[in-house]
């Protein structure tokens, strides 16, 4: 954990400390943990375009991270992040995730947050599938594909995955997939509500999002849309959702029925 974030957390608890004192105590106690850098290999045809998020909902990032349960069963985790507010919009673990499952998760997120202008990803098969391209075109969402072998072009989601693995996946022994869902959702809420972010002036993502024209739910982490989406992967699920205003074509708080 970075010294700046430790200092911010202690000040939130009422301790009067500065970064130098935290650094000295950390050095004296020898509690600094070195973290190895992970290597990643990207494949696919690049349609990369540099686009910096300048407002909430302008650029979302999505990607996969893998782990396994205690008995060795592997699973994948789909993560969805707003690059501007750093909010984690969804975490969806499953033993296998197809393109149609990805669409279902993102549909649930759009029902709560509104549609983004761009989605940034690598050239994984789930992201470049024909059904995915047709769906994105119908939603009028532009794609931003990074160049192969260039994970830094999707830096926000890569940084988020480092935090997810360092603060959750590497610390937990998962008994089964249901336990994975519960633990990941608990961590997602903590990340959005209680974890200060240095890039946001040591505010939490929800605190920062609450200052951006109140587009999100007032500083409280909304329910993870991924479990709702998972329920509709192999069946029909109807939920009443409130679509928040995302552009001039949408009406504010327009009730809508979403069929997954």
Query: Which tens digit of pLDDT belongs to each residue from 219-229?
Result: 444 556 665 55
Burial of 249 (0-12, 13-18, 19+ CB in 10 A): exposed
Burial of 215 (0-12, 13-18, 19+ CB in 10 A): middle
pLDDT of residue 258: 39
For residue range 227-241, what is the model confidence (pLDDT) as tens digits? 555 544 433 333 333
How many alpha carbons fall within 13 Å on the CB side of residue 213? 8
CATH of 37-259, one of 3.40.50.300, 3.40.50.12500, 3.30.420.10, 3.40.430.10: 3.30.420.10
pLDDT of residue 174: 94
Q: What's the Cα-to-Cα distance from 110 to each of 114, 146, 224, rounded to whole Å? A: 4, 22, 12
98 and 104 Cβ atoms separated by less than 8 Å: no
Instruction: Give residue for tokens 């939603």.
Output: 139
- Its pTM stands at 0.66
Q: In this structure, what are the phi and psi dihedrals at residue 66, rounded to the nearest 5 degrees?
A: -115, 155
Instruction: Give residue for tokens 């059904």.
Output: 131
Q: How confident is the model at residue 213 (pLDDT cuts 50, 70, 90)?
A: low
Domain ranges of the chain: 1-34, 37-259
- 196 Cβ partners below 8 Å, 6+ apart? 5, 8, 9, 12, 202, 203, 204
Q: Quick one: average pLDDT of 196-211?
A: 88
Rg (CA), the chain: 19
């Amino acid at each position: 954990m970075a010294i700046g974030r430790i200092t911010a957390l202690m000040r939130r608890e009422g301790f009067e400390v500065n970064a130098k004192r935290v650094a000295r105590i950390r050095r004296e106690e020898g509690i600094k943990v070195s973290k190895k850098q992970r290597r990643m290999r990207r494949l696919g045809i690049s349609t990369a375009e540099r686009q910096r998020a300048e407002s909430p909902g302008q650029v979302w990032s999505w990607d996969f991270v893998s782990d396994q349960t205690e008995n060795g069963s592997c699973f994948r985790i789909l993560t969805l992040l707003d690059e501007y507010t750093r909010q984690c919009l969804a975490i969806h673990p499953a033993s296998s995730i197809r393109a149609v499952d990805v669409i279902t998760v993102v549909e649930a997120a759009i029902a709560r947050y509104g549609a983004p202008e761009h989605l940034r990803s690598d050239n994984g098969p789930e992201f470049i599938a024909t059904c995915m391209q047709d769906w994105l075109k119908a939603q009028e969402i532009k794609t931003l594909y990074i160049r192969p072998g260039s994970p830094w072009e999707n830096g926000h989601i890569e940084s988020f995955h480092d935090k997810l693995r360092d603060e959750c996946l590497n610390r937990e022994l998962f008994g089964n997939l249901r336990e994975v869902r519960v633990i990941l959702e608990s961590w997602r809420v903590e990340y959005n509500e209680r974890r200060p972010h240095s890039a946001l002036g040591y505010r939490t993502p929800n605190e920062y999002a609450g200052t951006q024209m109140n587009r999100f739910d007032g500083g409280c982490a909304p329910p993870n849309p991924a479990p709702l989406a998972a329920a509709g992967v192999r069946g029909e699920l109807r939920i009443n959702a409130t679509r928040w205003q995302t552009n001039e074509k949408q009406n504010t708080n327009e009730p809508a029925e979403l069929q997954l």
